Amino acid sequence: GTVPVLCVDGPTASGKGTLAARLAARLGYHLLDSGALYRVTALAALQAGLNIDAANETAIAELARRLPVRFEGDRVLLNGQDVSDAIRSEEGGMNASKVSALPAVRIALVALQHSFARLPGLVADGRDMGTVIFPAAPLKVFLTASAAQRAERRHKQLISKGIPARIDVLRADLEARDARDMNRAVAPLKPAEDALLLDNSSLSIEASVDQVLAWWQDKQ
Ligand code: C5P
């Protein structure tokens, strides 16, 4: 039968990852963190000595097509090595944004993303889940929050991990990444036409989860 897919798209640090993980746990569904695939691709390219630019598009796409990536709980393994911390850095995010603007890389990752859609269902987190990867999904949520809120949340996260950070620098970085994601030619960050918008600037994570679960019930 068809696998139900719930898409959660939105900009950097909007809280997509947390929301998607909670939704998957509540529904007992699989989880696709598509951003991690772009992050791992960028890391694999750098490890192979490739600069992340259009000149290496074909070579990077080739790496992406046979990406030896595995997810174990919240850990991400590349070639069996735990690269979770390496890919989650701000630099890792910026590098991911660069590889993700290369059309051949996006195409190379399509089949892998589709393979996550298995029964009983999937929660897919990214930028183009609803627009490109799972366009027939019954529910597409586009999650937003103000840039100020997002920078503040990211700042708290980093500080709690003992990583020093400045809010103004984080905000400039996330706005630069969003601008690249929104303005690229292929699969730009934008809500699907039938997406439901959720601004969580002043919502708790629990309230966001409950809102999306209510929408999901409506679709059944
Ligand atoms: O969501 P996350 O911050 O991990 O994504 C890292 C980068 O990967 C994003 O800034 C974006 O450029 C890219 N990305 C993408 N399409 C997705 C998921 C992530 O282009 N579906």
Residue 50 burial by CB count (10 A; 0-12/13-18/19+): exposed, middle or buried? middle
pTM for this structure?
0.95
Give helix 90-100 / helix 167-183 axis angle, nearest 10°: 10
Q: What's the complex ipTM?
A: 0.98
Q: How many residues does the chain have?
A: 220
pLDDT at res. 1: 63
pLDDT at res. 90: 86
- What string of pLDDT tens digits covers the 220 residues of the chain? 699 999 999 998 899 999 999 999 999 999 999 999 999 999 999 999 999 999 999 999 999 999 999 999 889 999 999 999 999 988 999 999 999 999 999 999 999 999 999 999 999 999 999 999 999 999 999 999 999 999 999 999 889 988 899 999 999 999 999 998 899 999 899 999 999 999 999 999 999 999 999 999 999 8
What token pair was written down for 95? 């590098």
Cα dihedral sign, 152-98-144-139: negative
* Distance in Å, CA 129 to ligand 1 centroid: 11
* Distance in Å, CA 212 to ligand 1 centroid: 21
Q: Which atom of ligand 1 is nearest to the CA of 97?
A: 12
pLDDT at res. 157: 86
Nearest CA to ligand 1 atom 1: 35
Write out the H or E segment, with its range, that includes residue 140.
Answer: strand 139-144
Q: Would the CB of 173 count as within 6 Å of ligand 1?
A: no
pLDDT at res. 220: 82
Q: Is 12 annotated as a binding residue?
A: yes
Nearest CA to ligand 1 atom 19: 35
Instruction: Tell how strand 30-33 and strand 81-82 pair up.
Output: unpaired
Nearest CA to ligand 1 atom 6: 35
Pairwise CA distance, residues 49 & 81, whole Å: 18
* Distance in Å, CA 96 to ligand 1 centroid: 6
- Residue whose CB lies within 8 A of the most ligand 1 atoms, among 32, 34, 69, 83, for a mutation test: 34
* Distance in Å, CA 98 to ligand 1 centroid: 9
Q: Would the CB of 131 count as within 6 Å of ligand 1?
A: no
Query: 165 Cβ partners below 8 Å, 6+ apart?
Result: 90, 154, 155, 158, 159
DSSP 28-48: T-EEEEHHHHHHHHHHHHHHT
Pairwise CA distance, residues 200 & 202, whole Å: 5
Q: Is 10 annotated as a binding residue?
A: yes
